[in-house]
A and B are shown apart, each in its own frame.
Chain A
Amino acid sequence: MSAIDPSDRYRRREQGLMLLLASPAVIVIVALVVLPVGWLMGQSFYDNGFTLENYRRIFSEDIYWRSFMLTFRIALMVTLLTLILGYPVAYAAAHVRRPWDVLILSFVILPFWTSVLVRAYAWLVLLQRTGVANQVLERFGLIGEPLALVHNELGTVIATVHILLPFMVLPLYSTMQKIPRELMLAGASLGGGPLHSFLRIFLPLSLPGVIAGLTLVFVLTLGFYITPELLGGGRTIMISMVVSRNVELYNQWGAASAVGVVLLVCVLAIFIAVGRIIPLDKMLGQK
């Protein structure tokens, strides 16, 4: 074959054109994400010369350890709760007839139009000692004392679940909607009862959506700031709040950066581990 195969040249030209299309986004990401993050990472190792002091402090001081544990615990709880609450909603939306699916999804998306801050305050009003939730429970005689629903971990979890629910429902819905209805009919015709067919056919085929939802909610919860700040009552110090305090109270950019770097490494480690355990490409079907 000679070097001047015209189809080769054509293909290379097209390849170049495609890269050109992507370049504005690449430039923006490099300028606004990669460079600042790189700079922050550099900061974490720098204090009048190279130092590991910031990292030594994270691994030796109890407050950091507790904050990391709390953050991951909340993220895990929120993720599981959104899955438990979101799966049936997505299932219903994927199975009902035309106007109803739109209605369900509208209710899921509607809260998006309100700011996180407003929603956090709304939860404060609902959940506080004299709030609607406690008043209703007391009136029906279900509780004698007002419950501590807010200014703690519970309040943070409740509000975060509410805010992040759409991030679970939407990927689930989009995956479920693509599962051919005929597969469940086939399952039934072949003798699979509703539960058997669901567990063996629908559930495995919806797993890509489950994983997408879990990932989104988990990662977003790790970085939550406003909700725990307002509903945590100062006792629920999540990792983002540690970062913010390092910067705002102590002007410790290096320490704040180091926390961010450790969080990033933890998340990556978790995803690599999960990816090892769960064979993702198998779940997505050998396309």
Chain B
Amino acid sequence: MAESGGERVEIRSASKIYGSVQALDGVSLDIAPQEFVSLLGPSGSGKTTLLGILGGFIQPSGGLILFGGRDVTFTPPHKRDIGIVFQNYALFPHMSVGDNVAFPLRARRLPKSTYAKRVRSALAMVDLAGYEERGIAQLSGGQRQRVALARAMIFEPRLILMDEPLSALDKQLRESMQIELRQLHKRLGATIIYVTHDQREALTMSDRVAILKDGKLVQIDAPTRLHDHPNNAFVASFIGEAALLPVERVDAERVSLAGTVLATSRKMPPAGDLLLAIQTEKLLVADSTDAPGRNRFSARVTDIVFQGESLRVFLALDGGATLSLRQPSHYEAARRIPPIGERIQVSLHPQDTIIVPKGD
């Protein structure tokens, strides 16, 4: 399949109102050609509405959508030339795999003689070579997923939208498909907009992740930046497994957590109430060999949950606030966790001491 090149997508203050519900509230986004952007948010955040607007199934109440500089806000879906992979694949049950994949070619009235070759190469691309004659009902969930992908790619769209395409697969398959999708994206060179509510999936695959809440865009950034520089408490709590603890401002570089002063090398919000966002994997069991300058404090172990490769240790501070840390489950690390009810010394690097504003 030839390089199709990516489409530049511009969303200019898109809004959608259903009756009295503001499903989407002035969202603006610029997506570069060949970028992989995830729309991440809880249900009701407006991510599916935004995808519907991009696909042309939903007309926005306000705002503009531009593909490559062209205004497509009211262009019907079949004239947008975008590949869409739906949540439950939306394969046509009465057609064979080959006919499903050839649908975009038929719809565009391309010369019939080219079908077989293009279908073959599209199926090869998703590792389903030779599946042309199979019925949809004979396929497993993962195979259906691949057919849907092949069908969305065969006409070499410059933009592909994906609506939680992996949510119906089991965990292992999902994780291997995530890696495959990433590689496919590099080969195709198309722009991909990917809707998901799974933050891990979004972080794994995307160049940038846009976080939506209540129809508004909260933050759009590269995964690592999102993780390390959350704009507010919502992003901090949505990404990773963060505990949010109220802290008092001491000065420009220090806060006080239930009486313990913690240093931070992160920029602090200029004013207002503060929260400390602690990701479970950044909180360590304190050790005599710790680098100097780490913040230390003590807590009580309230529960230890074995989760296979790691232990999640639930802690309570003296003030009653709760947080948790993750410890690898191998013997050396696990034996450093005292039994439930005992006290534990933990430490947090100033770089990982992330302070966010309390309000929205």
Which residues of A approach B to under 8 Å, CB–CB?
Answer: 180, 182-183, 185-194, 196-197, 200-201, 204-205, 282-283, 285-287
Contact = CB atoms under 8 A, between A and B. Distances in A.
B78 A192 contact: yes
B260 to A, nearest CB: 53
A276 to B, nearest CB: 20
18 contacts: A180-B88, A180-B90, A182-B88, A183-B92, A188-B76, A189-B78, A190-B83, A190-B103, A190-B107, A190-B151, A190-B155, A191-B81, A191-B155, A192-B78, A192-B107, A193-B78, A200-B103, A286-B137
Contacts of A189: 55-56, 77-78, 80, 82-84, 152, 161
Given A185-B57, A200-B106, A191 B137 contact: no
A185 B55 contact: yes
Nearest to B99: A200
Contact of B77 (A180, A188, A201, A282): A188
Given A185-B57, A287-B137, A192 B103 contact: yes
Contact of B104 (A190, A201, A285): A190
Contact of B78 (A182, A188, A285): A188
Given A190-B107, A200-B106, A286-B137, 8 more contacts: A186-B90, A187-B103, A189-B77, A189-B152, A190-B103, A191-B108, A197-B107, A200-B92
Given A191-B108, A200-B106, A183 B78 contact: no
A205 B93 contact: yes
A283 to B, nearest CB: 7
A196 B77 contact: no
A55 to B, nearest CB: 43
A188 B108 CA distance: 11
Question: Could you say which of A183, A187, A189, A190 has the most chain B C-beta atoms within 10 Å of its C-beta?
Answer: A190
A282 B95 CA distance: 9
B322 to A, nearest CB: 42
Contacts of A192: 78, 103-104, 107
B94 interface: yes
Interface string B78-122: 101111101010101110000000011011100000000000000
A204 to B, nearest CB: 5
Size category of the B interface is 20 to 34
A192 B95 CA distance: 15
A197 B84 CA distance: 15
Given A189-B82, A189-B84, A191-B104, A285 B137 contact: yes
Nearest to A284: B94
Contact of A186 (B76, B86, B136): B86
A182 B86 CA distance: 8
B288 interface: no
B140 interface: no
A286 B78 CA distance: 28
Contacts of B161: 189
Contacts of A182: 86, 88, 90
B84 A186 contact: yes
B176 interface: no
Interface in B12-50: none
Interface in B162-204: none
A286 B103 CA distance: 19
A180 B89 CA distance: 11
B152 A190 contact: yes
A183 to B, nearest CB: 5
A201 B92 contact: yes
A186 B104 CA distance: 10
A204 B92 CA distance: 10
Nearest to A189: B84
Contacts of B90: 180, 182-183, 185-186
B106 A286 contact: no
A197 B82 CA distance: 16
B289 interface: no
Contacts of B307: none
A191 B78 contact: yes
Interface string B114-156: 0000000000000000000001111000000000000110010
Nearest to B96: A286
B94 A205 contact: yes
Contacts of A194: 78
